Amino acid sequence: MGHHLDFLVPDDCEVLIDAKARVRLAAAAMTMPAIPRVAVEIRLAAGQSQVDLQQCFLRSAGDFPRLAAYCQAKAAERPDWVPVAHYCRDLADPGQAFGESVTELYLEHDLLETGETPSAPALFVDLPGDPASARALALETARRLQGAALPGTGTAIGRIFDACRGDAFVSHIGCMTGRTVPGVRINVKGIRPAALEPFLKECGWPGDSRRGSALFDFAVGGCDRVTLAFDIVGALLPNFGVECFFDHQPAEDPAWRRMLRLLTADGLCAADKGDAFQTIPATITPAGWTGAWPTDMAVGAMLGSDREFTSYARRAVHLKIVDGMGGSRSAKAYYGAGYLTIAPLTDPEHRRWRPTLAAPAPRRSVRADHVALADPADRAIAHGVEYLLQTQRQSGLWREFPVPSGISDNWVSGFIGTQLVATGDPRGRAAAEEALDRLLTRQRPDSGWAYNEDHPTDSDSTAWILRLMRSLGRLEEPAARRAIAFVRAHVQPSGGIVSFRERQPVADVAKLPDESSLAGWMAVHDCVTAGAAPFGGPAVADYLLANEADGAWRAYWWVHDAFASALAVEALLASDHAAKPEWRARVQRRATGWIEEALASERCEYFDLAFAVRALIGTDPEAAKDALVAAAAARMLADQAEDGSWRPSARMRVPWHAAMPDSMTVETVAYDRQAGFTTAAVIATLAMLRDGRMP
């Protein structure tokens, strides 16, 4: 691995990896097999310079025989390597039944600041999905690597397995064979916040459960998912680690910056280290590399497809916060590195490189109930609900629409939760309740909510969370009353509603200078007004009636007008203007045209189609029985993906601002990449048609 060091460690990151740490990394890399699938572990506190190195071996890549030979050679020189060597030998031996379910193994080398020769590495393996098989492998791994401590260790491992309920499962076991205190580490994935304290009690964790719950809640609220790490040395220790994973890299997701900033405020991270870590990710190609390109990478590229080439990737992997003995707390950051295959013609965005340890795991409590349903609409709705439950974060929220200033969770969760309730599926309702419980903890002092936790509050986000509260029958709660007052403060004399009332908070997020205009961001728009109409008072309906243009309402934040128009129809149907035939007839004609256009397209935009159908049946309930609406429903049913989603098609428009990359000169259009908005809109529309309900 020595010749990969220049790729692994950037020249300009001495604040993270100083010269002495680089020497230790180089010495370790020179003895490791040339399998460039590694991770670097960095202490984030000021004055801490220890940097450790991990290497990942995959059965699917044929790594295990090389791993066994490497460990055997080490064991011939170092007795402390013998248990690791024997374990890896048996994993690689096709004649051994032991460990055949292990797909990945990590060796973690502790490179001490004292410069001492590293002891035998810690060894981590993934466990199979079946709980009984996982338990058996975990116990056998502990027995083989740390047999002397097995009686108490085995009991503690068993209690953790027994405590796993719902989505929680044990994903990895680690054995720190070479450390002064040779412990076992158990990683648990998928625990939901409400399940944590019962889990800790059942597994006999001796720490402060309130403190642990507060740390876990902080973690799940700030990232995409959290893995828990428990230490066992003959018994379960009060140590408590939370590993925080993000689906996007720091340049795409300011949530990294936010969490690092909070860790800095708590004294767990030096500010310069937090800033430097966010610059680590890079993709290194032969064209941009001035040094010698490694021979193995060059040969691999020449022997591969002429439409692909091999590059080297560094990616931020996760942050880890540990509650240690005596109430001490520390933080680490990890980045991974390895080969990345780039196919410019077929995959211009590059194939995603991510360690398997960081990959999302399916929610085990979500059953495929749709397979038992005979009616196609019922089956599609149930399958769509299951997809949305799978994409719901541990926090209870969803995240969609990555844009330069962040990814939405508050606003997105208000929308998706509202649509889930509309399906009538009790599982969807429970998920919506979970989302609302989290959202209520995020209501700001001004009583509003925002696009995400880094953005200023706005009436549109607040209105969608109010819609969620309304759908769940919770508008009488004090939080709702305060939020309604917040929305009404954004109503203008015209009856229209603005998203933002104050310029400066928006300018700060958008990184705009004082002379820049945000007039568009702060103006009245039909899409915002229609969304917030149920909470804005009677003047809002008057505004919407006056601003209807040939059966449509213009969207500012959306590429297509169907979404805004369907919401405007809903508002007018609840007003004194409901019975007026003129606007209804115009909407019917316009919505009919949108539906016909969508059905004629080979690449249907299902988000638009769903809301065009709602606009039509809202103004003409009998249209739900027409052949056109039946054809729209049939098209939606036919094009549902195998995972229960529909192709992302909710197109949010973001007007240009200074925080956008230089390549963006006018605006950007962001899709719901995980198909959350689209899928939620379609299944709610199908449920309305099934149940004969108007929007």
Task: Flag whether pLDDT at 491 surpasses 50.
Answer: yes
Residue 341 exposure: Cα atoms within 13 Å on the Cβ side: 13
Task: Flag whether pLDDT at 670 surpasses 80.
Answer: yes
How confident is the model at residue 509, as a pLDDT? Answer: 77
How confident is the model at residue 154, as a pLDDT? Answer: 93
Beta bridge partners of 524: 498
Average pLDDT for 225-233: 96
The pair of three-digit structure tokens given for residue 585, joined into one six-digit string: 């007839």
How confident is the model at residue 348, as a pLDDT? Answer: 52
What is the CATH number assigned to the segment(s) 372-691? 1.50.10.20
Q: Pick the residue with more confidence: 506 or 665?
A: 506
Task: Flag whether pLDDT at 532 surpasses 60.
Answer: yes
Q: Pick the residue with more confidence: 357 or 573?
A: 573
Tens of pLDDT, residue by residue over 168-192, are 999 999 999 877 778 999 999 999 9
Beta bridge partners of 42: 51, 333
Comparing 68-72, 128-132, 508-512, the range with the smallest average pLDDT is 508-512
**Which of 294-308, 310-324, 631-645, 665-679 has maximum average pLDDT?**
631-645
How confident is the model at residue 648, as a pLDDT? Answer: 96
How confident is the model at residue 4, as a pLDDT? Answer: 78
How confident is the model at residue 293, as a pLDDT? Answer: 81
How confident is the model at residue 654, as a pLDDT? Answer: 82
Q: How confident is the model at residue 668 (pLDDT cuts 50, 70, 90)?
A: confident
How confident is the model at residue 359, as a pLDDT? Answer: 78
Task: Flag whether pLDDT at 664 surpasses 50.
Answer: no
Tens of pLDDT, residue by residue over 567-623, are 999 999 999 999 999 999 999 999 999 999 999 999 999 999 999 999 999 999 999
pTM of the predicted model, to two decimals? 0.93
Average pLDDT for 202-207: 96
Task: Flag whether pLDDT at 308 surpasses 60.
Answer: yes
Q: What is the Cα–Cα distance from 14 to 20, expressed in whole angstroms?
A: 10
User: Residue 560: helix, strand or coil by DSSP?
Assistant: coil
Q: How confident is the model at residue 261 (pLDDT cuts 50, 70, 90)?
A: very high
Average pLDDT for 78-94: 94
The gap from C-alpha 13 to its chain's centroid, in whole angstroms, comes to 27
Q: How confident is the model at residue 283 (pLDDT cuts 50, 70, 90)?
A: confident
How confident is the model at residue 149, as a pLDDT? Answer: 57
Task: Flag whether pLDDT at 212 surpasses 90.
Answer: yes
User: Residue 458: helix, strand or coil by DSSP?
Assistant: strand
Tens of pLDDT, residue by residue over 387-425, are 999 999 999 999 999 887 889 999 999 999 999 999 999
Tens of pLDDT, residue by residue over 140-161, are 999 999 876 567 899 999 999 9
Please state the length of the chain: 695
**Burial label, 225 (beta-carbon count in 10 A; 0-12, 13-18, 19+):** buried
How confident is the model at residue 148, as a pLDDT? Answer: 62
Q: How confident is the model at residue 660 (pLDDT cuts 50, 70, 90)?
A: very low
Q: Which residues contact 247 (CB under 8 A, 6 or more apart)?
A: 224, 253, 360, 399
How confident is the model at residue 507, as a pLDDT? Answer: 80
Query: Do 155 and 148 contact (CB within 8 A), yes or no?
Result: no
The alpha carbon dihedral of 537, 543, 548, 552 has a sign of negative
What dihedral angle (degrees, nearest 10) is formed by the CA atoms of 189, 277, 401, 259? Answer: 60
Average pLDDT for 357-365: 85
User: Strand ranges (DSSP E) for 434-516?
Assistant: 449-450, 457-458
Mean pLDDT score of the chain: 91
